[in-house]
């Protein structure tokens, strides 16, 4: 077979979470009739608090789990227990134990500092992109299909290589070249509709760099401190939500023009139905964010391309075949860009090793082939050990004779 799946398990379903719920949010956010940038940012991070539900489930599952009791401890008499407690007390005063506790405290401080840094970076990335997007023209949104995607792919790959040591092999480079060639075609089509290219380049470069840095540092935090996405999302949500509320309360009473959260609540939540719609919108936003975090946790930040581009393709189809579509979505553009999208999506799967190409040696350094070689080497070593053992046993039997 020239093409095959790298693996087929339930984790592949995580690729569908983001594009599905990202598009569903296009319907649920209609419950928010009057929005502003601060209120939108607040809702984004407030949705992270739903991760607390999963943390509670994990906590009670661990808390109520049966405790393992060593058989020997049941037969300890009173003197042995007292002696054991004295030994435990003396061990706590041991120098090694003190050093370990110091290292643990230092590790917790680093973890907390890292987590706070992620909070501010996440806040800046989300609010900053939403704020500075007002300086773009309406037609600049067409560059999402080409320029933004190219910068996203390039920056995510570069930062993953530098910060989490994700290696790039032949299949990555071929995929990158193929994707870039398709993006150039889309860019050439789009360029005729753009008045000024400099501002969009600066905006998309800074925006994608900050978002990529945020996602890659999340993966690094997971690797270094062994934290799951629910833990990180919940605490980032708590910290950023508190900071935004603290700012907005002061701003509302000092200068309401720079406020946004309280005003957002006043304008949008005036009944029980409004409140339920607000909660539904939060939950949908949480789900598509969770889709990104699960991909980062189980795979790599670059795997986000697959979900992101699937979402963009769905959005393009919706816009292109809408009755109110503008002149950019004419018949020729629809056909060419759709073909390019399919090719790009295919090579996104190859880049992230969801699909494996079994020619030109493109499969040699994929994770699946590396694991297969390791397994074969292990079996070879095991067989050699068996042969050596049998040989030694045979020689010993001859010596006994």
The pLDDT assigned to 71 comes to: 45
> What DSSP character marks residue 401?
-
Burial class (CB in 10 A: 0-12, 13-18, 19+), 400: exposed
> What DSSP character marks residue 5?
E
Q: Is residue 143 situated within a structural domain?
A: no
The residues that bridge with 357 in the sheet, in sequence order, are 3
The pLDDT assigned to 51 comes to: 94
Q: Which positions ≥6 away from 93 have C-beta within 8 Å?
A: none
Structure tokens, 128: 């900053």
Structure tokens, 395: 């020689």
94: left (phi over 0), alpha (psi -120 to 50) or beta: beta
Structure tokens, 358: 């079994």
The pLDDT assigned to 361 comes to: 82
d(CA 369, CA 363): 7
Q: Is residue 95 situated within a structural domain?
A: yes
d(CA 341, CA 354): 17
Q: Are 299 and 17 in contact (CB under 8 A)?
A: no
Residue 399: helix, strand or coil by DSSP? Answer: helix
Element (H, E) at 262: helix 261-268
Q: Are 218 and 136 in contact (CB under 8 A)?
A: no
Q: Is residue 2 situated within a structural domain?
A: no
What distances in angstroms separate CA 143 from CA 84, 185, 237, one per listed residue? 70, 12, 31
d(CA 268, CA 33): 6
Phi, psi of 5 (to 5 degrees): -75, 140
Range of the domain at 276: 32-65+83-137+197-294
Cα torsion through 54, 59, 61, 66, rounded to 10:
170
Q: Is residue 308 situated within a structural domain?
A: no
Q: Is residue 51 situated within a structural domain?
A: yes
Q: Is residue 328 situated within a structural domain?
A: no
pLDDT per residue, tens digit, the chain (401 aa), is 677 877 777 787 888 888 888 888 877 777 777 778 899 999 999 999 999 998 888 877 766 655 444 444 444 455 555 555 555 545 555 666 777 777 888 888 999 999 999 999 999 999 988 888 888 888 888 888 889 989 999 999 999 999 998 888 888 899 999 999 999 999 999 988 888 889 999 999 999 999 999 999 999 999 999 899 999 999 999 999 999 999 999 999 988 888 889 998 988 888 888 899 999 999 999 999 999 999 999 988 988 888 888 888 888 888 887 766 677 888 888 899 889 999 998 998 888 888 888 888 888 888 888 888 888 887 778 777 776 766 666 655 555 55
Structure tokens, 384: 């050699």
Q: What pTM does this model have?
A: 0.83
The pLDDT assigned to 80 comes to: 52
Q: At what angle do helices 95-132 and 198-225 cross, to 10 degrees?
A: 160
Q: Is residue 16 situated within a structural domain?
A: no
Q: Are 149 and 329 in contact (CB under 8 A)?
A: no
d(CA 296, CA 81): 47
Q: Is residue 101 situated within a structural domain?
A: yes
Number of domains in the chain: 1
Q: At what angle do helices 272-298 and 198-225 cross, to 10 degrees?
A: 70
d(CA 289, CA 15): 12
What distances in angstroms separate CA 108 from CA 90, 102, 111, 225, one per listed residue? 25, 10, 5, 9
d(CA 103, CA 125): 32
227: left (phi over 0), alpha (psi -120 to 50) or beta: beta
């Amino acid at each position: 077979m020239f093409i095959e799946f790298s693996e087929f398990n339930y984790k592949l379903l995580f690729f569908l979470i983001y594009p599905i719920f990202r598009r569903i949010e296009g319907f649920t956010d209609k419950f928010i009739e009057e929005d502003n940038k601060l209120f939108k940012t607040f809702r984004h991070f407030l949705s992270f608090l739903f991760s607390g539900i999963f943390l509670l489930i994990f906590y009670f599952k661990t808390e109520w789990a049966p405790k393992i009791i060593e058989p020997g401890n049941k037969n300890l008499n009173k003197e042995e227990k007292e002696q054991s407690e004295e030994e435990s007390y003396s061990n706590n005063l041991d120098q090694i134990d003190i050093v370990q506790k110091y290292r643990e405290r230092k590790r917790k401080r680093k973890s907390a500092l890292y987590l706070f840094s992620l909070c501010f970076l996440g806040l800046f990335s989300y609010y900053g992109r939403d704020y500075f997007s007002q300086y773009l023209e309406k037609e600049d949104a067409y560059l999402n299909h080409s320029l933004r995607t190219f910068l996203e792919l390039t920056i995510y790959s570069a930062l993953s290589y530098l910060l989490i040591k994700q290696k790039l092999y032949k299949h990555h480079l071929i995929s990158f070249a193929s994707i870039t060639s398709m993006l150039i075609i889309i860019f050439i089509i789009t360029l005729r509709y753009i008045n000024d290219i400099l501002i969009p380049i600066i905006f998309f470069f800074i925006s994608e760099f900050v978002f990529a840095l945020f996602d890659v540092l999340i993966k690094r935090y997971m690797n270094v401190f062994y934290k799951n996405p629910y833990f990180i999302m919940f605490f980032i949500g708590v910290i950023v939500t508190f900071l935004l509320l603290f700012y907005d309360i002061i701003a509302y009473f000092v200068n309401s023009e720079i406020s946004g959260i309280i005003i957002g609540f006043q304008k949008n939540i005036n009944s029980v139905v409004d409140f339920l719609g607000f909660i539904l919108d939060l939950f949908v936003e949480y789900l598509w964010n969770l889709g990104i975090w699960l991909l980062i946790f189980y795979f790599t930040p670059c795997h986000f391309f697959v979900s992101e581009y699937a979402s963009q393709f769905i959005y393009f189809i919706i816009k292109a075949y809408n009755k109110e579509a503008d002149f950019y979505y004419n018949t020729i553009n629809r056909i060419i860009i759709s073909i390019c999208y399919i090719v790009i999506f295919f090579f996104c799967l190859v880049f992230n090793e969801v699909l494996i190409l079994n020619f030109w040696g493109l499969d040699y350094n994929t994770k699946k082939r590396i694991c297969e070689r390791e397994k074969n080497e292990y079996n070879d070593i095991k067989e050699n050990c068996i042969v050596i053992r049998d040989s030694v046993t045979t020689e010993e039997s001859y010596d006994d004779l």
